[in-house]
Amino acid sequence: MSQFSQPVSLAQPVNASQQAEFKQGLWFALAAYGLWGLTPVYFKQLEGITPFEVLTHRVLWSVVFVSVLVIFSRKLPAVIAIIRQPKLLLGLICTAGIISINWLTFIWAIGEHRILETSLGYFMNPLVSIFLGMIFLSERLRPLQWLALSLAGLGVAYQLILHGSLPWVALVLAFSFGFYGLLRKKIPVDAISGLLIETVIMLPAALVYLFWLAQAGELGFGHITLKLDLLLVAAGLVTSLPLLFFAASARRLSLTMIGFMQYLAPSITFALAVTLYGETLDSSKLITFSLIWLALILFSLEGFWFQKKKPICS
pLDDT at 26 (0 to 100): 86
Task: Give the pLDDT score at 43.
Answer: 93
Residue 218 to residue 286: CA distance in whole angstroms = 39
DSSP H helices in the chain: 16-44, 51-72, 76-83, 86-111, 115-136, 143-163, 168-186, 191-215, 226-233, 235-250, 255-261, 264-271, 283-309
Domain assignment present for residue 113? The answer is yes
pLDDT digits (tens, 9 = 90+) for 90-113: 999 999 999 999 999 999 999 999
How many domains does one find in the chain? 1
In a domain, 22, yes or no: no
Q: Given this model, what pLDDT does residue 143 score?
A: 81
CB 32 within 8 A of CB 242: yes
Burial class of 260 by CB neighbour count within 10 A (0 to 12, 13 to 18, 19+):
buried
Give a yes or no: residue 253 inside a domain: yes
CA-CA distances (angstroms) from residue 255 to 35, 73, 152?
20, 27, 18
User: What pTM did the predictor assign?
Assistant: 0.81
Q: How many CA atoms lie within 13 A of 263 on its CB side?
A: 13
Mean pLDDT by 10 residues, the chain (314 residues): 40 63 85 91 90 95 92 90 93 95 95 92 83 82 82 82 78 92 86 89 96 92 89 90 81 73 85 90 84 84 68 47
Identify whether 10 is part of a domain: no
Say if residues 166 and 160 touch (Cβ distance below 8 Å).
yes
Does 264 map to a domain?
Answer: yes
Domain with 278, as residue range(s), is 27-309
Confirm whether 243 is domain-assigned: yes
Asked if the structure places residue 314 within a domain, the reply is: no
Q: Is residue 175 part of a domain?
A: yes
Distant-in-sequence, close-in-space partners of 28: CB < 8 Å, separation ≥ 6? 245, 246, 248, 249, 252
Torsion sign, CA atoms 6, 10, 11, 14: positive
Apex 39 CA angle, 35 and 44, nearest 5: 160
